[in-house]
Structure 1
Amino acid sequence: MTTRPLRADARRNIDAILEAATATLARDPDASVNDIARAAGVGRVTLYGHFENRAALVSAVVERAMADVDAVLQALDLSGDPAAALVRLVDATWAVTLRYGALVVAAERSLPAAEVAAAHGAPRERAQWLIDRGRAEGRFRTDLPASWLVTSLHTVTHAAANSVYDGELATDAAAHAIAATMLGLLTPPGEVVPDVAALTAH
């Protein structure tokens, strides 16, 4: 069975809905389907003709956002000192996260945890590679599972996004907070935790 290509007007509607959903959810993670349809300039019937429910729409928005995140991170230089590379990874990840505002919050409120985790597959693989290299070079601890350290980075980043949305953390302080938290966790026991500012000065 072949899938018929979408008509041009249907494609335009989908693009408009995804753009509107991204912008609307970035401002308000609890935005309704009505809010998104209104922002897209389409009716509810048209929106539901392309996305069966709000969760399906949020899922499509997250998928598109993660493709953007992956494209940015693919171009990132993670060579050299693993600790400094980690700070660069956190800075780049946070910068692209800011483009999507409260979308992280919307995803966590609307989608199953397994789906949110699956959407982060490529960024997790990149973090896994860096953490494995840091462990091999003696810069990162080896007494905890690498998978747990990767999950911790993912969790701390999402916690920062939620804290910024809740007004607990300043937007321009978030990347430093994530990096400092992770360096504290990753540094081998008994060794001095590197200073984030010193790592970014080089």
Structure 2
Amino acid sequence: MRAAVTCLGRSAEASMNDIAQEAGVGRVTLYGHFPSREALVEAALIRLLAQGDEVLKTVDLTGDPRDALRTLMESGWLLIAQAASVLQAAQAALPPGRIQELHAKPEQRVHDLIRRGQTEGVFRADFPADLLASALHHIMHGAAVDVAAGRLGPTDAPRFVAEMALAVCLVPTAAARPRPAPE
């Protein structure tokens, strides 16, 4: 499993042969544990999500929702950056519904925080919490793509991700509110 995470982390297209070589076993041995590449990719994603959940469980989400969102996004960013290539492999190998199922627990943490921020009046309530959570998901994954492409420095990404998340979620000030469309 460690070899799968390593190989898929380097390249979403890593083959069973690449993974077997990394693990120091033959392909037949690897297929003895995982009947297909899809099964191995799913197992690798599950492993990374479980490791990420252990990290995110330690993030304090009490107190000011703005501070909690910043901390959650910065912590979540590091996990996304580490797992971006494995997620890319999973997106190519697994049905979209399965990936959503596997992400349900981490996404619930974000939804709960956004709903609390909306209730407390610091996050915008003019958009559904699910839409805001989806936007945050896209911000993190987009930043991972930009880091991989060299358009964003990996040390700058956590701050940018957190700032963009707050810009999306915070109640807009009067100056920043959209103007009504002309009639």
TM-score, L = length of structure 1? 0.80
Larger RCO (alpha carbons 8 Å, 6+ apart): 2
With over 3 angstroms needed to count, the CA separation of the structure-2 counterparts of 1:161 and 1:105, relative to structure 1, is farther
Taking a change above 3 Å as real, the CA distance of residues 55 and 41 of structure 1, as seen in their structure-2 partners, is same
Alpha-carbon deviation of 1:98?
A: 3.8
Q: Which one of the candidate residues 132, 147, 158 is aligned to 2:141?
A: 158
Task: Identify which of 9, 15, 18 aligns with 1:35.
Answer: 18
State the number of aligned residues: 176
| AA of the residue aligned to 1:41 | G
Aligned-partner SS, 1:171: coil
Residues 71-97 of structure 1, C-alpha deviations (whole Å, 9 max, x = no match)? 111111111111111010011112233
Q: Is the 8 A contact 2:65 2:117 kept in 1?
A: yes
User: CA shift at 1:104, angstroms?
Assistant: 2.7
Q: What is aligned with 1:118?
A: 101
Query: Which residue of structure 1 lines up, in the alignment, with residue 115 of structure 2?
Result: 132
* SS of match in other structure, 2:156: helix
Q: Percent identity?
A: 41
Partners of 2:153 and 2:137 lie apart in 1 by 19
2:40 pairs with 37, 51, 57, which one? 57
**Distance across 1 between alignment mates of 2:49 and 2:6:** 15
Summarize the Cα distance change of 1:56–1:27 in structure 2 as closer, same or farther, 3 Å threshold.
same
**Distance verdict in 2 for CA 1:155–1:112, change over 3 Å:** farther
Contact kept in structure 2, 1:128 and 1:147, CA below 8 Å? yes
TM-score normalised according to structure 2 size: 0.88
- Identify the residue that residue 4 of structure 1 maps to in structure 2: none
Q: Which runs of 4+ in 1 moved over 6 A?
A: none
Q: Contact 1:105–1:161 (CA<8 Å) still a contact in 2?
A: no
Range 103-112 or range 118-127, more displaced: 103-112
Q: What does residue 68 of structure 2 align with?
A: 85
Cα drift, residue 101 of structure 1: 5.4
By how many angstroms is 1:43 displaced? 1.2
Task: Write the distance in 2 (CA, Å) between the matches of 1:175 and 1:42.
Answer: 37
1:192 shift after superposition: 7.7
Q: 171, 177, 189: which is aligned to 2:154?
A: 171
- Identify which range, 60-69 or 92-101, moves more after superposition: 92-101
- The one-letter code of the counterpart of 1:31 is A
Instruction: Check the 8 A contact 2:73/2:165 in 1, yes or no.
Output: no
Q: Match for 2:170 among 159, 162, 187?
A: 187
Letter matched to residue 48 of structure 2: A
Partner of 1:106: 89
| Change over 3 Å in CA distance of 1:191–1:137 after alignment to 2 | farther
